[in-house]
């Protein structure tokens, strides 16, 4: 199988740089699969999971909170607002963040910024999903 390089980068660090056969991306238009020798591409990403590894079999996961992906010269570069590999995620902390956000949405107080609370909830759920601990 043909492979290519995947780089996931945030402003703070390089999260991963590995050879992969396939990547599934959470784009603003839906899930997108990328394989070796893919045409050049630039796409916006939303909060979601990046799944990467072999074409078949177990894939690794990273939780991202938006950004951009560029495929060029058989390298897929993901510039993410934030990114964590599944094995880096503190599941207890993510579940507590989910509960706090859900509670704030349920309280319906006028002083809450509901868009921010909704995004916080979505990020927490995404982090939990990355670890397969729903």
Could you read off the pLDDT of 26-82 as tens digits, one per residue? 999 999 999 999 999 999 999 999 999 998 888 999 999 999 999 999 999 999 999
Give the chain's domains with CATH numbers.
4-86 (2.60.15.10), 90-130 (1.20.5.440)
Could you give the CA distance from residue 127 to residue 90 in angstroms, rounded to a whole number? 9
Q: Is the pTM above the cut of 0.75?
A: yes
**87-95 contacts, C-beta under 8 A, 24 or more apart:** 89/63, 89/127, 89/128, 89/130, 89/131, 91/127, 91/128, 91/131, 91/133, 94/124, 94/127, 94/128, 94/131, 95/124, 95/128
């Amino acid at each position: 199988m043909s492979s290519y390089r995947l780089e996931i980068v945030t402003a703070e660090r390089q999260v991963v740089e590995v050879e992969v056969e396939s990547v599934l991306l959470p784009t603003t238009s839906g899930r997108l699969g990328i394989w070796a020798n893919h045409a050049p591409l630039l796409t916006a990403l939303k909060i979601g999971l990046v799944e990467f590894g072999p074409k078949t079999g177990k894939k690794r996961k990273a939780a991202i909170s938006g950004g951009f992906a560029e495929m060029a010269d058989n390298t897929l570069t993901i510039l993410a607002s934030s990114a964590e590999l599944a094995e880096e995620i503190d599941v207890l902390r993510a579940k507590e963040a989910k509960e706090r956000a859900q509670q704030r949405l349920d309280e319906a107080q006028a002083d809450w910024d509901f868009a921010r609370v909704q995004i916080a909830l979505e990020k927490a759920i995404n982090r939990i999903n990355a670890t397969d601990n729903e």
